[in-house]
Structure 1
Amino acid sequence: MTIQKAVIFDMDGVIIDSENLWKKAEKEVFTSLGVNVTHEDSELTKSMTTFEVTKFWFDKFPWEDKSTDIVEHMVISRVIELIDTEDCKINGIKEFIERLKAKNYKIGLATNSPYKIIPKVLQKFDIQHLFDTVSSAEFEDNGKPAPAIYLTTAEKLNVTTNNCIAIEDSYSGMLAAKNAGMTVVAFTNGNKDLDFEIADYKIDAFDHFNIDIFN
């Protein structure tokens, strides 16, 4: 009997080059509320969920008149607008997923981003039909680095975690996948500062990676 295997992708930084979109949206929204958005603090919030980011800034610079829920949705709406207008493509991602599908891997998505952003990203790059399931940490008690989002995605795919490969661009994401019992792939996208010691494999560019290594 053939053992079913899956590849589960992080979204931000793996499917879409979105770090600058989030930074821009957060700076615009939080600054408009009187928050002093510094580069140092922004680095601390990079791997947080939008709920956690909003709470982080509210705790430092409490604003009035708007709930944190409303502010969080302001950030999300702005990111969705920017996805439409900005160049945020990661080269080779569609062809890479197509090659995995041709090898009969199930394909999943596990992201800390809010669920409503996922269809926008997948539609932009015409890859929605390639995914068997998508998951957002919005519906988990804890986002990455907690393993919950990966455990949920593996269960939805009906693939055991030891037969799942997770592709991540951040240490917290790699830690989440590793703690879920998955094979971890670090996608560096040329980032030499990424700590990928816990990764089992490393991908610098999707269009130059031999997927047969996974077998």
Structure 2
Amino acid sequence: MLPREQPTINSQQGFSMCFGCGRENPIGLKMTFHWDGHTVSGRFVPTEVHQGWPGVVHGGIIGSILDETIGYVSFYEGLETVTGKLETRIKRPVRVGESLTVSGYLTRRSRKLIEAKAVAADAEGAIVAEATAVLYVVRDLVKSGNGFKAVIWDMDGVIADTASYHYAAWRQAFAKRGIDYPEEKFRLSFGQRNDIIISRAMGPGVSPQLIAEISDEKEEIYRRSIVGHLKPLPGAIELVRSLHSRGFRMAIASSAPKENIELVLHLLGIRDCFQAIISARDVPLGKPDPEVYLVAAQRLGVAPQHCVVIEDAVAGVEGARAGGMRSIAVTNTHPREKLALADLVVDSLETVDAADIERLLGLRPA
């Protein structure tokens, strides 16, 4: 008998097809979670495709929701694990369309395994199901070194000086439709997703088709305009290359389309410094929701508490904190006082080096 090939357990391969959280799995649950340093929490609304008996959610789906929640407990603890034992208790039938809040936390940890608990509650806070699990530790991301050195970058306003090109492109796309777009409104929305910007500029009732049309047109104008003209912001390229040479794993987490990100990194000659790119296409929610940073951490194979986010936007700093990450804010777009939630606020990345990031991660004395 031929030996059975063992699967590879490695978060650096990404989670895009995970049944629980993968964004590209067409039949997946697409769950997202937040972390407060102790408890993982999330929300799930089952649909008719999740039913067993008519109108009642299948018990296997309830088990999967709780198992995924517990899996994220281990990830936030800096561990790659596999479930060895899962005991689920369903206290009452869950209806299709019923909003569930899930939460999970660690109950015991040793070198080779962890134990955790998760609960699902209804809108009134009553527990409808709970689970306990034993998970076997495959890899300790902290002890292996992967968890120590991770930097997640925003791009526009942090790495590249793109604001004027974005504004000109938006003005042209909106002017074609008779809409004035003053610079003040642009600055308040800079860094947000295109669908949000367009909806706010045009008012309620704008169709998804028109949003897509304006967005595509604006981005085409923008990409044409930066070729041969794009400049990096002070200190950004030097810091990227310095961190790369010192073994930091790095990702871009941006609300920009992936085509924009790839073009900017190519024009600046730093594409090979990044192991992951997370764009607006990869996550349904924009900043300050932390999902874009959490997906980046997953793809890097790094626990969130061992990531530093570099941002210029208030929403970005808030999202980093919500994701359990440290942050550096640079005052390229907003004044210092609006970025006070960041762990470190600087006027230029020229003043930041690898030692500053290691101090934020607790790897150097303060």
The superposition leaves residues 73-127 of structure 1 with CA deviations (integer Å, 9 ceiling, x where unpaired) of 0001111112114343212322211211222210111001111111110011000
- Alpha carbons 1:190, 1:204 under 8 Å: kept: no
Q: CA RMSD in A?
A: 2.1
Alignment of 1:58-207 (within 5 A): 58-59=202-203, 67-189=210-332, 192=335, 195-207=338-350
Residue aligned with 2:237, SS: helix
AA aligned to 1:127 is I
Give 1:3's match in structure 2, choosing from 141, 145, 158.
Answer: 145
Q: Kindly state the Cα deviation for residue 184 of structure 1 after the two structures are TM-superposed.
A: 0.6
Other-structure match for 2:156: 12
- Alpha carbons 2:162, 2:230 under 8 Å: kept: no
- Alpha carbons 2:312, 2:333 under 8 Å: kept: no
- TM-score for both structures, normalised by structure 2: 0.54
Q: Kindly state the Cα deviation for residue 2 of structure 1 after the two structures are TM-superposed.
A: 4.6
- Alpha carbons 2:287, 2:319 under 8 Å: kept: yes
Cα pair distance change 1:168/1:194, threshold 3 Å: farther
Cα pair distance change 1:181/1:33, threshold 3 Å: same
- Alpha carbons 2:157, 2:333 under 8 Å: kept: no
1:50 maps onto 2:212 in alignment: no
Cα pair distance change 1:34/1:190, threshold 3 Å: closer
1:33 maps onto 2:182 in alignment: no
> Is the strand fraction higher in 1 or 2?
2
AA aligned to 1:93 is A
Cα pair distance change 1:62/1:131, threshold 3 Å: closer
- Alpha carbons 2:230, 2:267 under 8 Å: kept: no
Q: Structure 1 stretch 109-118 or stretch 39-48: which is displaced more?
A: 39-48
In 2, the alpha carbon distance for the partners of 1:132 and 1:10 equals 14
Q: Kindly state the Cα deviation for residue 128 of structure 1 after the two structures are TM-superposed.
A: 0.3
Q: Kindly state the Cα deviation for residue 168 of structure 1 after the two structures are TM-superposed.
A: 0.1
Residue aligned with 2:258, SS: coil
> Is the helix fraction higher in 1 or 2?
1
Q: Kindly state the Cα deviation for residue 47 of structure 1 after the two structures are TM-superposed.
A: 3.3
Residue aligned with 1:109, SS: strand
The superposition leaves residues 137-161 of structure 1 with CA deviations (integer Å, 9 ceiling, x where unpaired) of 2321111111010000000000000
AA aligned to 1:139 is D
Aligned length: 213
The superposition leaves residues 193-213 of structure 1 with CA deviations (integer Å, 9 ceiling, x where unpaired) of 562211111232223323212
Structure with greater Cα Rg: 2
**Structure 2: tracts of 5 or more residues without a match:** 1-142, 359-366
AA aligned to 2:152 is I
AA aligned to 2:244 is K
In 1, the alpha carbon distance for the partners of 2:186 and 2:194 equals 12
Cα pair distance change 1:61/1:25, threshold 3 Å: farther
AA aligned to 2:145 is I
Residue aligned with 1:137, SS: coil
In 2, the alpha carbon distance for the partners of 1:190 and 1:203 equals 12
Residue aligned with 1:177, SS: helix
- Alpha carbons 1:112, 1:137 under 8 Å: kept: yes
- Alpha carbons 1:140, 1:148 under 8 Å: kept: yes
Cα pair distance change 1:43/1:187, threshold 3 Å: closer
Cα pair distance change 1:99/1:24, threshold 3 Å: same
Relative contact order higher in (CA < 8 Å, ≥ 6 apart): 1
